[in-house]
Structure 1
Amino acid sequence: MTEEPLERWAARRQGRLRKPGERKAITLGTGPQRAAHVDPDASRMILEWDGFAWQPLMTVDSYAAACLALSPSEGRSADQAETTGPVTGRKPLAPGTGRHRKPRP
């Protein structure tokens, strides 16, 4: 078995690592972390990865505000997020009546 060159291994590893500046939201509440839709009005803490650990960045009041903080490039203001719902970045669902509808291409 031939060994992989160190440079190639390091490049593959670097591609798998989380990039600094990546953000995530956690629910501030009692009990274990659950899906975001379980309590959409609960406060969230936005965390940012600095390359070594998650650092607290800010707190927001709701799931909609957290979505806006996690993807500010959507070009929406906080007022629009509250009136039109959260920004998810997902494609709209295809028409249908089943539970398992596939997103449109």
Structure 2
Amino acid sequence: MTDEPLERWAARRQGRLRRPGELKAITLGAGPQRAAHVDADAPRLILEWDGFACQPLMPVENYAAARRVLNPQPDSTPAEVTGPITGRNPLAPGTGRHRKPTP
């Protein structure tokens, strides 16, 4: 059995490590940390990994606000939204081709 070269091991290890600037949210409710969606109205604390430890960044009021901070989405209006398969606006009136014609 041969040993893995140090450079390859270091590259694999670096790929597994958290990157500085990575954000995460923790619940500031009572009890142990649980799934993020549990107690959705509890305040959250956004933490930032600095390469050595998580540093507090900002408090937010609930789960939805934490999701907006962790996963920012570009602003879009309903007219810009398109369906996943057809490429058309899902909010526009349809042709009704999937329905049987009325007699």
Fold-level match, TM-score > 0.5?
Answer: yes
Amino acid paired to 1:54: C
Aligned-residue offset at 1:37: 2.0
In the TM superposition, what are the counterparts of 1:1-105 in structure 2 within 5 Å? 1-72=1-72, 74-76=73-75
1:68 match: secondary structure = helix
Amino acid paired to 1:37: H
Aligned-residue offset at 1:34: 1.6
Segments of 4+ moved more than 3 angstroms = none
Aligned-residue offset at 1:20: 1.0
CA distance in structure 2 between the aligned counterparts of 1:60 and 1:16, rounded to whole angstroms = 28
CA distance in structure 2 between the aligned counterparts of 1:8 and 1:63, rounded to whole angstroms = 39
CA distance in structure 2 between the aligned counterparts of 1:62 and 1:52, rounded to whole angstroms = 27
CA distance in structure 1 between the aligned counterparts of 2:63 and 2:2, rounded to whole angstroms = 50
Aligned-residue offset at 1:15: 0.8
CA distance in structure 1 between the aligned counterparts of 2:44 and 2:4, rounded to whole angstroms = 43
CA distance in structure 2 between the aligned counterparts of 1:31 and 1:2, rounded to whole angstroms = 48
TM-score, structure 1 length as denominator? 0.67
Amino acid paired to 1:16: R
CA distance in structure 2 between the aligned counterparts of 1:14 and 1:33, rounded to whole angstroms = 27
Give 1 or 2: higher helix fraction.
1
CA distance in structure 2 between the aligned counterparts of 1:7 and 1:71, rounded to whole angstroms = 33
- Cα shift readout 1:16-60 (whole Å, capped 9, x = no counterpart): 111111111111011111222221111000001111111100000
Q: Which runs of 5+ in 2 are unaligned?
A: 76-103
Q: Which runs of 5+ in 1 are unaligned?
A: 77-105
CA distance in structure 2 between the aligned counterparts of 1:6 and 1:55, rounded to whole angstroms = 31
Q: Over the residues paired in the alignment, what is the CA RMSD in angstroms?
A: 1.5
